[in-house]
Amino acid sequence: MASVQESIDVSVPVSTAYNQWTQFESFPQFMGGVESITQISDTSTHWVTSIGGVHREFDAEITEQHPDERVAWKSTDGESHAGVVTFHRLDENTTRLMVQIDWHPGTFIEKVGAVVNADAAQVKGDLKRFKAFIENSGGETGAWRGDVAAPFSGVTTEAEPANSTLPDTSTDDPDSGGPRVA
C-alpha cells in the first residue's frame, strides 16, 4: 500500500477552505490528472482520472464529514484508495489543510511512481493549485455543510452494546458473577 501525507496553509478562513473542498465537481480546476467528477448524491461521486498515462474511472463515497473539520472518503469500486483532509484554523484568515491518502498501486507505472514519491509530488502540486485557486477566487464557489457520521467500527463499550441480544443476567449470582445454583 502506498501512502501520502501532505499539508498546506491557505490564506482564507477555515469555513471558506472547507466549503470549497466540498465542491467536488470543481476539483479538475486545481487537481492535475482529474478529468471530471460527477456528484451522484450528497455522499457519492464518480471520478474520471488520467495520471501518468493511466486512465481510471471509479466511484467514491464520503465516509465521514464534519463542517470545518474533516472530509474522509473511500473508493467503492475499482482500485482501492481512501483518504481524509482535515482543516485546522491557524487564525481568523489562515487554514492548514492536512491530506492523507492511502492507495494500492495497480500497474507497474503506479508502483514505480509510489517508490519515487511521484504520488506525493502530485498531491503537493494539487494542494498548491488549490491554494492559488481559493486565495485568488474571492471566495468559495459553493458549499455543502452536511454532517456524515463515521461508520460503526465494530468496537463496543458496555454503554453501547454491539446488538440488543445481550445475555440475561437477572439470574446470575451477585457474588460469583456466574449463574445461580438452585
**pLDDT tens-place string over residues 4-52:** 999 999 999 999 999 999 999 999 999 999 999 999 999 999 999 988 7
Q: Which pairs with CB-CB distance under 8 Å and at least 24 residues apart come from 126-130?
A: 126/30, 126/31, 126/32, 127/6, 127/7, 127/8, 127/97, 127/99, 128/8, 129/30, 129/31, 129/32, 130/8, 130/10, 130/20, 130/21, 130/30, 130/31, 130/97
Residue range 2-137 forms a domain whose CATH class is alpha beta
Residue 67 DSSP label: T
- 158 pLDDT higher than 70: no
Domain boundaries, the chain: 2-137
Tens of pLDDT, residue by residue over 39-88, are 999 999 999 998 878 888 999 999 999 999 999 999 998 668 899 999 99
Look at 29-33, 110-114, 155-159 and tell me which has the smallest mean pLDDT.
155-159
Residue pair 7/99 in contact by the 8 Å Cβ criterion: yes
Q: For the chain, give the percent of residues with pLDDT over 70.
A: 82
Q: What is the pLDDT of residue 119?
A: 83
